[in-house]
Each structure stands twice: as C-alpha cells, then as structure tokens.
Amino acid sequence: MNRENLSGAVVLITGGTGSFGSTMVKELLKSDISEIRILSRDETKQDFMRNSIKDTRLNFFLGDVRDKGTLQSAIRQSDYIFHAAALKQVPSGEFFPLETVKTNVLGSENVLSLAIEYGVKTVVCLSTDKAVYPINAMGMSKAMMEKVAFAKAREAGTSETKIAVTRYGNVMMSRGSVIPLFVNQIRRNEAITVTNKNMTRFLMSLSDSVDLVKHAFANADSGDLFVQKAPACTVETLIAALEIIENKHGQVEIKEIGIRHGEKMHESLLGAEERMRSQSEDNFFRVPLDTRRLDYQIYFQEGQKTLAQEPFTSENAKQLSVDEVVKLVSNQPEYQNL
C-alpha cells in the first residue's frame, strides 16, 4: 500500500466478514503481513471465512464495536485499522434509529478512542454517500460517524494515530446491492420491482472500494476525507444492461413500486460546501480537515473566500451508457460467481 509498509504488520478489520472485509482480506494476504484480525458479531460468517481462506495469518475476534471491552483485545497491539463495521440497511434504520446510532456513531467512537489510546498508526473509517445531505437514519448516523472521526483527528493532534475517512456509493454485488435481486427476478421470469426507474446511482465495484481505502491509507493526512470519482447510471439503464447480459432483452416486465423509506432520487458523494474545499487527485477527491478554531470571533470580519461549486452527485457524475454498464457488470468476478 505504497507509503505504509505492511511487512510484519498487524491489521484489524472491524465488520471484517462483510463484502468489503472479505475483499480486503484477500488483498492483504498478498503482502508479507503478520496478522489480520477480523472483528465481527457473526460467528457463522467467521466460520465460513476461516474454512474458505485457511490462512494462519487470520485471527478471528467475536465481538461488537458497541462493547468497548470486546474491542480492547482486538485493537491492542494492532498497527492499522480498517473500520467497516456498521448497520447499513436504510429501511430498518428508519424503524430502529437508536440501534443504528449505537453501532455507527457510538461504536465508531469506541474504535477511534481505543485506537488513539493504544497508539494505532492509521485508522481508515468507511462511510457512505448517504451521509451527504442525509434524509434517513442510516445516512445521519454515518454523517455523525464522520464528524466523530474528524473531531478525533483534531483531538489526536500530533499523536501517532492518523485518522482518515472514505466515502463511497453503491457497491455492485455487495450485500446491499440491488443487482443480485434484479438478476434473480430476471432468471425466474418475474417482474423486476423498481422503486423509480429514473433514480440514479453510483456504480462501484468491490475492488474499487478497496482501491479507495488503499489510496486513503497511503496518502491521507489525519482528518482527510477521500471520495472516488465514480460513474453513475439510472436504474432504467442498469435494468436494460442486465436484460442484455441475461439474454432477456425486451422480455422483462418492469413494475414500479414506489420509493422506499428513506430513499433519495439521486445520491451525493460530496456536498457543495465540501466540493469547494476539495482537491482533485487523479481518480479521487480529497477534502482536507477543517482546522479552524472554535473561537469564531476571528471570523466576524473575514471568512473563508471560496467559489461555489455543484455537489458531486449521481445525477451530474459521468453517466454510463447501457453498453458501458453491460461491460462493467459482466466483468465483475462476483457477478460471474452469482
């Protein structure tokens, strides 16, 4: 991972049995890493990962980020942390918002506090596009998680712990992806249930999400936020591409069922205010930590002078054509294994 040498390192992945964690583990095992610690509360997924990968460098911790006590043994003597543990389902978050807060906000504070206490070198926190102008509990909790991370970065100051945040959109073929649902409906000759075919969504692969975290890991200053310049498409375009891939072009019925709890028509990866402060780095945006002091008296006469910019959304991002989505989806290893 470029700047940081993983040789002999101990890396902890919270929520490590999820889609991101499983992909990152395979990437890390290519290096001369000493140990990969997987913290999650799902013993079944841990057992599956243990038996499918079978590498002695994997070490599993059964626990929950909500419980600071269970975190201590996993974080103690870790060099780096990828914090992916979260409650991510938007509809369930609308009905159980406090449960979402306990994991996504308070659990993240536990991880960051212990990381600073035990001298972890780098923590990369994974966030979501839903944290930008949030309208649902999951997005609000992730926005608060980011604020906690930025506050901890300021608090850590010149300590040895570097904290970075990555924010990404919908990951194709992950647990929350709609693609497996659509593919299964097509294969069963059922109507595809669509909330609104004019919705736009970012399209990222699991490898893209890992690349984003690797970029942040290698390049971040503490408190930095990183976003990938991901492409997007409408749900209608996605369905047309899946019909072609499944050899059912023009044969699929589409049933619009209406927007679900907490859904947006278009997602945002950067708000307008963040875009004004962002720096472009090849395929990524970097938003540095706002280091202004809490004493606002000094800003009464003169504030920051920046030019207004549009937010970076799935509506104004590069829009993929049907053929481009066909190529993108069909080349995903997870799709080929579906």
Judge whether residue 308 has pLDDT over 90: no
Report how far apart, in Å, the C-alpha atoms of 337 and of each of 47, 185, 331, 333 are: 20, 17, 11, 6
* pLDDT at position 303: 64
Residue 130 designated active-site: yes
User: What's residue 160's pLDDT?
Assistant: 86
For the stretch 66-120, pLDDT in tens is 999 999 999 999 999 999 999 998 889 999 999 999 999 999 999 999 999 999 9
Per the model's pLDDT, the better-predicted residue between 156 and 2 turns out to be: 156
d(CA 179, CA 191): 14
Amino acid letter at 95? F
Residue 301: band (very low, low, confident or very high) from pLDDT cuts 50, 70, 90: low
* Band of residue 337 on the pLDDT scale cut at 50, 70, 90: confident
From the list 88, 130, 162, 264, the catalytic residue is 130
Looking at residue 335, its pLDDT comes to 81
Q: What is the mean pLDDT of residues 257-284?
A: 91
Q: What is the mean pLDDT of the chain?
A: 91
For residue 247, the one-letter residue type is N
Nearest Cα to Cα of residue 319 among 215, 239, 202, 240: 202
CA angle 96, 99, 105 (to 5 degrees): 130
The pTM of this model reads 0.92
The pLDDT-based confidence of 295 (bands split at 50, 70, 90) is: confident
The pLDDT score that the predictor gives to residue 3 is: 43
pLDDT at 312 over 50: yes
3-class DSSP state for residue 69?
A: helix
Helix (H) or strand (E) holding 208: helix 206-219
Q: Where are the alpha helices (DSSP H) in 40-96?
A: 43-53, 68-75, 90-95
pLDDT of 4 over the 70 cut:
no
Interval 128-138 mean pLDDT: 95
Pairing of strands 268-270, 312-313: antiparallel
pLDDT value of position 306:
65
Confidence of residue 259 (pLDDT cuts 50, 70, 90): confident
Element (H, E) at 182: helix 179-187
